[in-house]
Amino acid sequence: MSNLDITYISQILTGYKSMKGALIPVLQEVQNHYTYIPEPAVDLIAEALNISPSEIYGVLTFYTQFYTQPEGKYTIKLCRGTACHVKGSKSILEAIERKLGIRVGETTKDDLFTLRIVACLGACAVAPVMMVNGDYYGELTLEKIEGIFDELQAKECKSAKT
């Protein structure tokens, strides 16, 4: 965090200074850039938008989309909606936890995977479903989980070597 480049935050903020209700879009842009909301960003945003840091912290802890820790290279968003639940997404969750050795909200030691659950991805017809960095994976089974993560891990190993 010490060598965080904050120039990007100042850049974003210039576009929002006079906009009503700018806080959430600003936080979204900051997070898109850094993968999380760094602590110094909160103070900068507070200054620029004339909102207290405590209100900003309140907002970013209220919405599940915002994180205060850096995300892994891949963010897994496992759907825990009703349709997924009745089709066994809890077992899928446990399988991912076993496979990656992390719990929900955690990131693997190699900073590759962060596991998150979402209320519903709206892809109920292909339940159980998850999203990995924007790609949907539907009708998950324990077997499929193995395959998907083996493939991603292999891909990363390969790119690390080259």
DSSP states along 24-73 = HHHHHHHHHHHSS--HHHHHHHHHHHT--HHHHHHHHHHSTT--SS---S
Smallest separation (angstroms) from other proteins to the CB of 80: 7
Provide φ and ψ at 43, rounded to 5°.
-70, -40
Six-digit token string for 90: 């809890």
With respect to other proteins, which residue has the nearer C-beta, 112 or 142? 142
Q: Which is nearer to other proteins, 98 or 103 (CB)?
A: 98
List contacts with other proteins (CB under 8 A): 20-25, 27-28, 39, 42, 51-59, 61-66, 68, 77, 80-88, 91, 94-95, 98, 118-127, 129, 134, 136-139, 142-143
Task: Give min distance, CB of 48 to other proteins, in A.
Answer: 13
**Cβ contact 16:22 at 8 Å:** yes
CB 80 within 8 A of CB 118: yes
Query: Min. distance of Cβ 157 from other proteins in angstroms?
Result: 23
Q: Which is nearer to other proteins, 95 or 115 (CB)?
A: 95
